[in-house]
Amino acid sequence: MQIMAIIMLFKEYHFVDPALYDAVAKSGDLDTLSVAVKLGRFDLVSMLLGLIAVLIGMAAMSGFWMLRGAAKNAAAQQAKEEAGPIAREESARIAREYLEEKAPELIANMLQSKGIPEKPEIGMSAQQVQEVIDEATEMGGNQNGPQ
C-alpha cells in the first residue's frame, strides 16, 4: 500500500516544469547550485534523503529489538547455567530453615483445620509403651515363628 502511494507520488509529481528550463537558460546564470535551486532538484534530493532516513531508522529500530531479545535470552540461559547448583543448594537450605522454624505452627494449623485437638491422644502413653517393651520376649530366628 505504501509502495503504491510512493509510486503514484513519483508518477504524478512534476519534478521540473519545462517552462523552468527555458527561464534558467534565458537567465544566463548556469552555476550548478543556482540551476538546481531554480529547477527544484533539491526537492527531489530532500525527498530521497528523507525516504532513505526513514528506511534506515526502521532498520535500526528492528535491529535494536532483535539484538535486545537475543541478548536477554543469552543472559537468561547463562544465568540458569551458572546459578543452577548454587540456587538448588540455597533453596534447599532456605526451605529447611523455614520448616524447622514453622513446623509446629504449620502442624497446629493443619490439625485445627481437620478439627483435631492440637495434641491428639494416642492409644498408649510413653509409660505403657515402655511396660510392653519390658514384658516382650524374643521369638524364633526371624520373629515370625518357628521355621
Would you tell me the crossing angle of helices 32-39 and 41-114 to the nearest 10 degrees?
70
Distances (CA, A) of 54 to 47, 50, 64, 65: 11, 6, 15, 17
| Residue % of the chain over a pLDDT of 90 | 18
Which pLDDT score, from 0 to 100, does residue 74 have? 94
52 or 20, higher pLDDT: 52
Averaged pLDDT of the chain: 78
19 or 97, higher pLDDT: 97
How many CB atoms are closer than 10 A to CB 100?
Answer: 9
Which pLDDT score, from 0 to 100, does residue 13 have? 67
Which pLDDT score, from 0 to 100, does residue 123 have? 67
- Give the model confidence (pLDDT) of 43-66 as tens digits: 777 788 899 999 999 999 999 999
